[in-house]
Amino acid sequence: MTQTPTRVALGLGSNMGNSRENLEMAVRYLDATPGITVVARSSVYRTAPWGPITQDDYSNMCITIDTVLKPRALLERGLAIEARMGRIRDERWGPRLIDIDILLFGTEKIEKDGLIVPHPRMSERAFVLIPLTEIWPDAPLGDGRTAAQALETCPDKEGVVKLDD
């Protein structure tokens, strides 16, 4: 019996080293994972850093995947890719070589063991909604709105700049 894959949205970000190459490498690692197929990828956007720490601007993007992995296994795979690429988790909201976040896992709502899906505060962050809306405008955010609807009232849209491909 074949398992039906779930459509998942991932947010990727980097602001250390060659951030665009870091994003590309993370997408390649994800796509090479058994049980994961990259379906769509957004453009890359430059965004000012979020939080209290002085650091370089981020390069951000979203991808959609189809996966037969369970949410916990997908989270663990993302963390393993981050570690393989050299990410060190030492400072909340600090610089990141790579960050892979599960934004949406189908229509599931998950809140256990360090995994919260849909991603909290996603609907307030233009650096997530702009690339997500580019590739999945009707993505269900779990609050009754789609990504495109949430983007309409999202602050800080002008701070998210599309980079040339």
Residues with catalytic annotation? Answer: 87, 96, 99, 101
Closest CA to 81 of 20, 40, 24: 24
Rounded distance, CA 165 to CA 163, Å?
6
- Token pair of 129, please? 């909604």
Strands 58-67 and 99-105: unpaired
Query: Could you identify the residue written with the tokens 């981050």?
Result: 82
Closest CA to 40 of 134, 148, 162, 138: 134
HSE-CB at 14 with a 13 A cutoff on CA atoms is 22
